[in-house]
Amino acid sequence: MSWAEWMLLLGGLVLLTGVLYMIPVLGKYIEKLAKWLGGFQTLIGVISVIVAIWVFIDTGVDLDSVFLLIVGFILAVSVMSALPMFGKYIAKLVKALGAFQVVIGIIAIVLAFID
């Protein structure tokens, strides 16, 4: 797995924190992991944005890197909104995407395992 795929997996788990308990058998264990990872939400978000930009530069734009950038913005909104030029626009984007958090989390986890 590449860095982008790892970050998609971690970010997807954090985005799905509230719904993972519904998975039969393993749900409560995955939920505990996701809640623990939630403590690192901002860090995972910032690293996701950095890795997404790195992938853009290295291999060009692909679906993984676009979703990784979206996941990174959602997770790191507290830090990204403090940026002088782009902060308010990123905050508006994340607010609009917030309604689709579960869908974005599912897609991120699926993309992490699709090569």
Over the stretch 13-33, which tens digit does the pLDDT of each residue have? 999 988 887 888 888 888 889
Question: d(Cα 101, Cα 73) in Å, to the nearest integer?
Answer: 12
Over the stretch 50-79, which tens digit does the pLDDT of each residue have? 999 999 999 989 999 999 999 999 999 888
Question: d(Cα 113, Cα 10) in Å, to the nearest integer?
Answer: 12
Alpha helical stretches, state H, the chain:
3-15, 27-38, 41-59, 63-75, 77-80, 87-97, 101-113
41: left (phi over 0), alpha (psi -120 to 50) or beta: alpha
Q: Is the pLDDT of residue 39 over 80?
A: yes
pLDDT of residue 20: 82
**Distant-in-sequence contacts of 20-29, Cβ < 8 A, 24+ apart:** none
> How many residues in total does the chain contain?
115
Place of tokens 């830090």: 79
Over the stretch 43-53, which tens digit does the pLDDT of each residue have? 999 999 999 99
Predicted TM-score (pTM) of the model is 0.88
Instruction: Name, in order, each residue with C-beta under 8 angstroms of 39's C-beta and a sequence gap of 6 or more.
Output: none
pLDDT of residue 79: 87
